[in-house]
Structure 1
Amino acid sequence: MKPALSKWNSTLALLGFLVITFCAPALGAFTLPGEWYAGLNKPSWNPPSWVFGPAWTLLYTLMAVAAWLVWKQGGWTRQRRPLTLYFIQLALNAAWTPVFFGAHQMGAALAVIIALWLAILLTLINFWRVRLSSGLLLVPYLAWVTFATTLNFTLWRMNP
């Protein structure tokens, strides 16, 4: 009976990490790109809008699985630091969309995304130390946010 309960708890925890992680983009649904973003000068390498949905869906899923795998290595008690870093970066992730698309503050959004990048890097390192696969699952996220940071900076420079 004990293994089934443990498997049940583990499954519930994974679902919890998925739900919490996908709350970050759900908050952004209130501040869609709209006409303001469409009217910005953009670099030739700006991705088409259809890329963002599938890319972020994959990234949020990988993030949640990575956090769950860390949690499985001792729960909140043993993994307080890496999981705290995870939730800090998730909060920064959720903050960027309203700052950029909602408030149209590209400079402030750049500051948020730089803080996000640093928080992801710290999370990745801490996850890596707990479980190699968890750190590796965050590599695509860090790569994407590196690209997004470059794009945010370029948009800020192109649209004074």
Structure 2
Amino acid sequence: MNMVKRFMGLAIAFACSILVLSVGASLTDLGPWYQALKQPTWKPPDAAFGIIWSVIFTLCALSGWGAWQLANTYAQKMRIAFLFAMNGALNILWSWLYFNQQRPDWAMTELYFLWASIVLLMIGLWPLSKKSSVMLLPYLVWVTTAGFLNAATIELNGPFV
């Protein structure tokens, strides 16, 4: 594969990653409702979230691009695209439920699907690229941490109606 195609693929992977990141960020409103929530003492500072998500989405772009480069068939490439698209949609849905709808309880339920989509991504990429699969481990760890934070927020503030 020539270098132009390889770097076009990398640019597309980053564009998709930035799109999901941007939509999720646009749904994240740290206004009065969020500020009024009681938070657990162990919650990272709000400024850390942007940095963490930027690193995670950079790794996602590199992971997807790396696996795509090694995919030999159209079916493999479509599987990669489907798994990342499903994960991106679930990531955006979590932000919409939590911040836009102000329903951490619904977001907590959805988080199980988001978490599972990361595991499916890792499993789906493993046969093509172990490195691409392992690159998603920080994402899984962070979503797991976010799940505990989400659950603590529900416990400290619920019920939500």
Q: Report the TM-score when normalising by structure 1.
A: 0.91
**In structure 2, how many angstroms separate the alpha carbons of the residues matched to 1:21 and 1:117?**
17
User: How do residues 1-160 of structure 1 correspond to structure 2 at under 5 angstroms?
Assistant: 6-28=2-24, 29-74=26-71, 77-79=74-76, 80-160=78-158
Superposition deviation, residue 127 in structure 1: 1.2
Task: Give the percent of matched residue pairs that are identical in Structure 1 and Structure 2.
Answer: 29
Q: Which runs of 5+ in 1 are unaligned?
A: none
CA deviations over 1:101-133 (Å, ceiling 9, x no partner): 111011111122111000001101111221010
Q: Which runs of 5+ in 2 are unaligned?
A: none
**In structure 1, how many angstroms separate the alpha carbons of the residues matched to 2:116 and 2:34?**
26
**In structure 1, how many angstroms separate the alpha carbons of the residues matched to 2:82 and 2:119?**
13
Aligned-residue CA RMSD in angstroms? 1.4
Amino acid at match of 1:117: W
8 Å CA contact 2:40–2:152 kept in 1: the answer is: yes
Runs of 4 or more above 3 Å deviation: none
| Residues 46/8 of structure 1: CA separation in 2 closer, same or farther (3 Å cut) | same
| Residues 49/76 of structure 1: CA separation in 2 closer, same or farther (3 Å cut) | farther
| Residues 123/47 of structure 1: CA separation in 2 closer, same or farther (3 Å cut) | same
Amino acid at match of 1:47: P
| Residues 75/153 of structure 1: CA separation in 2 closer, same or farther (3 Å cut) | farther
8 Å CA contact 2:108–2:147 kept in 1: the answer is: yes
| Residues 42/82 of structure 1: CA separation in 2 closer, same or farther (3 Å cut) | same
Amino acid at match of 1:88: M
| Residues 46/27 of structure 1: CA separation in 2 closer, same or farther (3 Å cut) | same
Q: How many residues align?
A: 156
Tell me, what secondary structure is at the counterpart of 1:72? helix
